[in-house]
Structure 1
Amino acid sequence: MSISIMDIVGRASYQCDIMFRVIDIREQDGRKYAILYGEDIRLIADAPLEDLIAISPSTREKLANQFHSLEEQSLELFRQDVELLKQKQEYGATDGYSKAFNYFQIPGRVLHLDGDPTYLEKCLALYEKIGVPVTGIHCKEKEMPLKIGHLLDYYRPDILVITGHDSYSKAKGKKSDLNAYRHSRQFVQTVNEARRKVPHLDQLVIFAGACQSHFESIIQAGANFASSPYRVNIHALDPVYIVSKISFTPFMERINVWDVLRNTLTGEKGIGGIETKGVLRTGMPYNSEHNSES
């Protein structure tokens, strides 16, 4: 069976452990190679066509259901966290429930740059489920450093997500060598440019990175959270869980890093970060009459 662009495939040499989407086919030294994007994890890879096996619709559905089950578990845990945060805010804003619920809340606004339009759509759907105000922009990783300054000026977000696809290649160098990574350098450059605009770590919270990204360089550039400390693959939706927790945490509270990581699908091997303040703000009074008229 011939392999074509947009086919869903697995790599025989890796026992088809990951589902990939074929995004391009190139020829080198008389041999054809496919450029692959992970379907559920933020990994980019290449492989000779003869190593690829087309994934049947039934197998695709089975694997997709497994991932969906994990996503639902993470979402339910996250909703529990948000509910606890909400109850804590209600208790404080109503002086121990002795006063009426006469307040409103403004969660942190997210600007999400993603190198993969399919992943971006999945992330935006999850942001909407959770209730996070977000602007999503598809932007190729190599263009991100050039565009981030203008985008920050225009959208003025509280939280910035810089993600897409990445991978580490042992053939290109050691894990400490930034040149051995597909897009880590672009993520680092984009974070650097963002910090030129907003230097303070609590005025703009940044998540950056993808599968196997050079975690240490991204953190040193100024990200609050990044992937991947152990150079493992991360799930497509993990950035959403990270920044949504920050969006719904009051700005007077500091976020324990483990509290942010524990409900992600990847955990601390795939994502790490530094102590960071929340960005949610509470105000009053809340005028229900005016709100219902609008």
Structure 2
Amino acid sequence: MSIGIHDIVGRVSYGCDVLFRVIQIKEENGKTIAILYGEDIRLVAHAPLDDLVKVNESERSARKQKNEEMVRHSLQLFSQDRELLDQKRRFEVSDGYRQQGDYFQIPGKVLHLDGDPSYLKKCMDVYEKIGIPVKGLYCNEKEMPSRITELLEMYRPDILVVTGHDSYSKSKGKMIDINAYRHSWHFVQTVREARKKIPQLDQLVIFAGACQSHFESLIAAGANFASSPSRVNIHALDPVYIVAKISFTPFMERIHVWDVLRNTLTGEKGIGGIETKGVLRTGMPYKSMEEEV
């Protein structure tokens, strides 16, 4: 069975553990090689064409259903957390506001840069469900460092997401060597440029990285949260759950790292970070447009 661009495949040598999209087919050292992007994880890989097998529709549907169940579970956990936050805020503001409807809240604004347009769409759909104000832009990982300053000036976000595809290659060097990673260096440079513009960790909260990214370098560059401490794969939606917690936590509260990680699909092996303030702000008076009519 021939394999072409955009086919959904698995790698036989890995037991078809991950579903990939075929992005490119090329000749390399006399072999036909396919460049692969993970369907649900932020991993880029390459494999000989003869190591690939097409995944049939029934298998794809079964895996899609399992993935959607994981996403629903994470959304449910986040919704529970948000309800607890809302209850706490309603209690705390009751002394300062005459009645429940006197105040309004502004969640943190997000600028999401993604190296994969299909992942970006998936993330934007979840941002919309959760109710987070976001500007999502597709941007090739290699172009992110040169574009970030202009984009920060243009959109003035409270939270920055820098993500896309990444992978570690043992043949290129040891795990501590950032040159052994496909895009970690570009993510690190992007974070550094962002910190030149906004140095304070609580003025701009940054999530950076993708599958197997060089976690230590990203944190050292100035990211609040990053992947991947154990060099494992992360889910396409993990950045959304990170920033959602930050966006809806009041700016006077500090977020413990585990409180952020426990709602992700990957957990502490895939994502880590540092204690960070929330960015939600409360104001008054609240007046709906309906009251004006």
Q: TM-score range by the shorter chain?
A: over 0.9
CA distance in 2, matches of 1:217, 1:176: 9
Q: CA deviation at 1:29?
A: 2.1
The equivalences for 1:1-294 within 5 A come to 1-95=1-95, 99-288=99-288, 290=289, 293=292
How many angstroms apart in 2 are the aligned matches of 1:47 and 1:112?
Answer: 30
3-state SS in 2 of match to 1:45: strand
Identity level (%): 70
Unaligned runs of 5+ in 2: none
Give the distance between the partners of 1:84 and 1:242, measured in 2 at CA. 17
Cα offset for 1:245? 0.4
Shift of 1:30: 2.1
Mark the CA change 1:292 to 1:3 in structure 2 (over 3 Å): closer, same or farther. Answer: farther
**1:81 alignment partner, SS class:** helix
Greater mean alpha carbon deviation, residues 263-272 or residues 97-106: 97-106
Q: CA deviation at 1:93?
A: 1.2
Equivalent pairs, count: 293
Give the AA of the match of 1:85: L
What amino acid is the match of 1:140? N
Offset from partner CA, 1:151-181 (integer Å, 9 cap, x none): 0000000000000000001111111000000
User: Does the CA contact (< 8 Å) of 1:90 and 1:101 recur in 2?
Assistant: no
Whole-angstrom CA distance in 2 between matches of 1:220 and 1:291: 49
Q: What is the rounded CA distance, in whole Å, between the counterparts of 1:49 and 1:67 in structure 2?
A: 26
Return the alpha-carbon distance in structure 1 between the equivalents of residues 292 and 116 of structure 2.
Answer: 40
Q: 2:97·2:103 contact (CA, 8 Å) conserved in 1?
A: no
AA of the residue aligned to 2:155: Y
Q: Deviations over 1:169-223 (max 9, x none)?
A: 1111111000000000000000000001000000000000000000000000000
Tell me: CA distance 1:84–1:47, structure 2 relative to 1, closer, same or farther (3 Å).
same
Task: Name the aligned partner's letter for residue 214 of structure 1.
Answer: H
Q: Deviations 1:17-63 (Å, cap 9, x if unpaired)?
A: 00000011111122110000000000000000000000001100000
Partner SS for 1:95:
coil
TM-score by length of 2: 0.98
TM-score by length of 1: 0.98
The root-mean-square deviation of aligned C-alpha atoms, in Å, is 1.3
Residues 173-182 or 85-94, more deviating: 85-94
Instruction: Go from structure 1 to structure 2 and tell me whether the alpha carbon gap of 1:283 and 1:48 turns closer, same or farther (over 3 Å shift).
Output: same
Q: Distance in 2 between matches of 1:277 and 1:291?
A: 34
- Confirm or deny: 8 A CA contact 2:104 2:284 kept in the other structure: yes
In 2, Cα distance between equivalents of 1:81 and 1:100: 20
SS at match of 1:157: coil
In structure 2, the CA distance between the partners of 1:87 and 1:48, relative to structure 1 (3 Å rule), is same
**Structure 1 residue 99 displacement after superposition:** 3.5
Q: Which runs of 5+ in 1 are unaligned?
A: none
Write the letter of the residue equivalent to 2:170: K
Distance 1:28 1:240 in 2: 36
Give the conservation status (yes or no) of the 8 Å contact 2:228–2:270: yes
Structure 1: how far apart are the matches of 2:102 and 2:254?
25
How far the C-alpha of 1:237 sits from its partner, in A, is 0.2
Task: Supply the distance in 1 between the matched residues of 2:76 and 2:155 (Cα, whole angstroms).
Answer: 30
| Secondary structure, counterpart of 1:166 in structure 2 | coil
Q: Distance in 1 between matches of 2:291 and 2:27?
A: 61
**Structure 1 runs (4+) greater than 4 angstroms displaced:** 291-294
Letter paired with 2:274: I
Matched residue type, 1:51:
D
Q: Summarize deviations over 1:129-170 as a string: whole Å, max 9, x none.
A: 000000000000000001001000000000000000000011
CA shift, 1:105, in A, is 0.1
